[in-house]
Amino acid sequence: MVDNSIRADWAGAALQAFADESMDGVISDEAVMDLLCDLGHYAERVLSLTENEIIGLFRIGIGAWKAESEHPIGDPHSNKMVDICILE
């Protein structure tokens, strides 16, 4: 079964690869922020998603993270999704 520590390891490997390419290998809060930003650029340019679609994906992802945080071990599908508000 995949738990949140394994999910965090996957994200850490992706973040390290990103930081190696763009941040001289340094993982920081800035690296996390920049990766999220660049995922938006990728989704726009390569996947042809609109701004609203990209923000929607970020909202769903953040909601899933919050829901999974409430149940670090177990079925994430049994969690209630958490909706977030994007302030403009």
Give the pLDDT score at 17: 98
Instruction: Tell whether pTM > 0.85.
Output: no
Per residue in 46-67, pLDDT tens?
999 999 999 999 999 999 898 8
Q: What is the mean pLDDT of the chain?
A: 87
Tell me, what DSSP letter sits at residue 84?
Answer: -
The stretches of the chain forming alpha helices (DSSP H) are 4-22, 29-45, 51-70
pLDDT band at 3 (very low <50, low <70, confident <90, very high): confident
